[in-house]
Structure 1
C-alpha cells in the first residue's frame, strides 16, 4: 500500500520533463493521493465497524492494485492525477483499520512493538516503491514499471488474505453519527492528543518534502546522477524499519514522553548534515533524518492509540488525517524553497517544521499522564499511560 502511494516520488523529475511541469507542480502526484487519503480516513473510522476488518483491508488492497494499473494507462496529466486521487481513497482502508486492528488484537505490553513493526512495514513499502521504480527505469518505461507494481500489489493482497488472522476482539456494531462526532470531540478535547496531531502533521510534512526534492537535487550538478543511480539511495528507508521497531519498544519501556523529543533532535541533525556538499553526507543525512522520523512516528502513533481509549478508531484516523495532510500541504509547500533556493531552500523549510515540532514535543513531555490527571479517555487496562 505504501509503495502505491510513494512509487511516483522518484518519477517526479520525469513527469516534470514529460508533461512540461515545474518541480512543485509535479509533486502534486504525491499530494493528490495523500490529500484524498487524509479525508477518507475519517469516513473509514466511522463506517469501519460495519465490516469485518480483515475483509475491508483485503478489498482495499485489491482496489489499489487495479488503480495502480490504471495509473500506468492514464493518457494525460489530468487523468493521471485523477487516478492518484482515487488511489488515496482506496488505500485508506489499510492504515486506518490496521492501527485499530493492532490496538484491539495485541496485548498492551506488546502494542509499542507491534505498532513499530507496522510502521516499519510502511518504511519497507515506501522504500520498495521508490527503489523498484528507479531501478526499473533502466530497462522499461515508467508506465511498464507501474504495471509491474500493480501486479505485485495484487499478489500481496492474495498473501494478506491467506495469512492474516481473523479479528477476535474487534468492536462491532454501527457507530451512529452522533456517537462518531462525540468520539471526535473526545479526541480533540484532550490537549496531549491535539499536540500529537500537530506533531504528526509537521513530521510527515518535512519527511515527504525531503524525499520529494532530493531526486531533483541529485539529478542536478554537481552530482548529475541518473535515475537508476538515485534509486538505491532510497534504501536508507531500511533504517526506518530498524528505528520503528527499536524505538517503539524503548518508548514502551521508558515512556513516550522521554523518547519523542530526542527523535526530533535526531531529525534536525540529519537535515543539517544533508547540507554538506559530498554525496556521502547527503546520504548519511537522509539516513539520520529517516531514523528520527520513523522513531518519532512509531512513538506518536502508539501514544495516540493508547491515550484515545474507547475512541481509538477516531484517534488513529485523526492522527493519520493530520499525517497525510502534512504530506500534501507541507510536502508541496517546501517546493517553493526549491524554486527560490534549490536544496538549501528545501532544508530551510523543513528545519522550520522540525523546530516547531521540537517545541510541540517539549510541551508534550510535561503534560501529565491520563491516569494521573483524570483525563477524558479511560485506559483499556490497569497499566498507566507513560
Structure 2
C-alpha cells in the first residue's frame, strides 16, 4: 500500500513561510508601484511632451498591455529557468528601466521604456502566484496569497500617492524617479528575503505540456473567468466614478477626486484578512461574503450624496481585493498539472478584463449614466457568483 509523500511547502509559523510572505509582499509593492506610477502624472507628462491626454495615458496602458501579452512567455521561461531566478532578475531589470525612463528626452523614448517595463514585470506578476502556490503548504496558502495581493494594492495606491505628492515639489521626472528609488528598496528586500525553492532542482527543467483536457475542466475555466469579471467591473467603477464626481451634483475638483485612490487601502487590509479566513472557514464561504460586500458597496454608490458614495467605494474595493485574494489562492489547488501556466492564465484574464470590460461599460455610462454602470458591474458580480458555484460543484464531484 503506497502513501503519498508529505507536501514539502512552507508551513505557517516556520521561518521560511515568514520570509516568503514578506518577500512576496515587497514584490507586489515594487511591481505595482512601478506599473501605475505615471497615472497621477499624466497631465504633467502630456504638457511636458505636448501630447494629448489619450497619448499620455499610453504610458499606463502600454505597460499593462505589454504585461498581459508577455505573461504566457514569462511562465514558460520560469518553468525552465526557475521561478525565483526569473523573478529576481526581471524585478532588478524593471527597476533599472523605470529609473532610466525618467531621463528620456522624447515621448517616444518614454513610451518604449514603459512598454519594456511591462514586459519585464510579467516575469514577476505572471510568475508570483504560481510560485506562492508551489512553495506554500496548502494549510497556509490562503494567507500567503492574501498577503501578496495586499502588497499589490499597497503598491498600486503607494505608487500613485508618492508620485502625486512629489510632483508638487518638482517635475514629473523627479516624482517618477522618487517612486523608482522606493521600488528599488522594496526590490532589494525581495531579493534578499526570497528563500530557495523547497523543490530544489525540481523547480527547473523542461516540463511535460498538459493536455487540453486539463484546461477544459469546469473548475479551471470558471476560476480563470473570475479575474476577468471582477477586474473588469472594478476598473469600470473607478473609471466612470471619476466622471460622475466632477459633474453636478458633486462638482468636485480633480485633486479631491484623486483622493478616491485611498480606498485601495481598504483592499490592503481585506485581502490579508480574506486569505486567512479562506484557510480557516473555507474558500466558498469567504468568496460568497466578499461578493456580498462588493454588491452592498455598489448599491451604496447609487444615491447622489457624497458620504454613501465614498462609503460604497470603500466597501466595493474591500470586497474586490478579498475576492481576488481568495480566487488567487484557490486556483493552484484545482489547477493540477497546469501548475504555473494556470496562474499565468489568471493574470492574463485579469488584465484582459481591465481592458475589455473597463471600456465596454463606458457604453452603459454614455447611455444611462451611473445607474447603468452600477447595473453592468452588478451583472459581473452575479456572474462571478455563478463561476464560484461551478467550482464548488465540480470539486465536490471530483
TM-score by length of 2: 0.81
Greater CA deviation, 255-264 or 38-47?
Answer: 255-264
The reply on whether 1:286 has 2:313 as its aligned counterpart is yes
Q: CA deviation at 1:119?
A: 0.8
Assess if the C-alpha contact under 8 Å between 1:65 and 1:150 holds in 2: yes
CA–CA distance in structure 1, aligned partners of residues 372 and 44 of structure 2: 22
**Alpha-carbon distance change, 362 to 285 in structure 1, aligned in 2, over 3 angstroms:** same
CA–CA distance in structure 1, aligned partners of residues 360 and 100 of structure 2: 28
For structure 1, the 5+ residue unaligned runs are: 374-386
Deviations 1:124-176 (A, max 9, x none): 11111122233333333333311211222122222222222222325333225
CA–CA distance in structure 2, aligned partners of residues 110 and 304 of structure 1: 14
What is the correspondence of 1:1-386 to structure 2 with a 5 Å cutoff?
1-11=31-41, 19-21=51-53, 28-74=58-104, 79-169=109-199, 171-175=202-206, 179-180=208-209, 182=210, 185=212, 187-339=214-366, 343-344=370-371, 346-369=373-396, 372-373=397-398
Q: Which residue pairs with 2:10 in the alignment?
A: none
Deviations 1:259-283 (A, max 9, x none): 3233223222212222322322222
Greater CA deviation, 231-240 or 186-195?
Answer: 231-240
Q: Which residue pairs with 2:6 in the alignment?
A: none
**Alpha-carbon distance change, 272 to 227 in structure 1, aligned in 2, over 3 angstroms:** same
**Alpha-carbon distance change, 303 to 286 in structure 1, aligned in 2, over 3 angstroms:** same
Assess if the C-alpha contact under 8 Å between 2:45 and 2:172 holds in 1: no
TM-score by length of 1: 0.83
Deviations 1:21-76 (A, max 9, x none): 46xx7655443222221221111221213334333222222222233234434556
Greater CA deviation, 53-62 or 73-82?
Answer: 73-82
Q: CA deviation at 1:200?
A: 1.2
Deviations 1:305-332 (A, max 9, x none): 1111232211111111111111222223
CA–CA distance in structure 2, aligned partners of residues 79 and 162 of structure 1: 32
CA–CA distance in structure 1, aligned partners of residues 364 and 175 of structure 2: 30
**Alpha-carbon distance change, 268 to 64 in structure 1, aligned in 2, over 3 angstroms:** same
CA–CA distance in structure 2, aligned partners of residues 274 and 16 of structure 1: 31
Assess if the C-alpha contact under 8 Å between 1:31 and 1:331 holds in 2: no
Assess if the C-alpha contact under 8 Å between 1:29 and 1:84 holds in 2: yes
**Alpha-carbon distance change, 334 to 242 in structure 1, aligned in 2, over 3 angstroms:** same
CA–CA distance in structure 2, aligned partners of residues 137 and 223 of structure 1: 26
Deviations 1:316-359 (A, max 9, x none): 11111111111222223334445555555544442332232233
Q: CA deviation at 1:2?
A: 0.8
Q: CA deviation at 1:103?
A: 2.0
CA–CA distance in structure 1, aligned partners of residues 191 and 368 of structure 2: 47
CA–CA distance in structure 1, aligned partners of residues 226 and 34 of structure 2: 24
**Alpha-carbon distance change, 222 to 10 in structure 1, aligned in 2, over 3 angstroms:** farther
Count of residues in correspondence between the two structures:
365
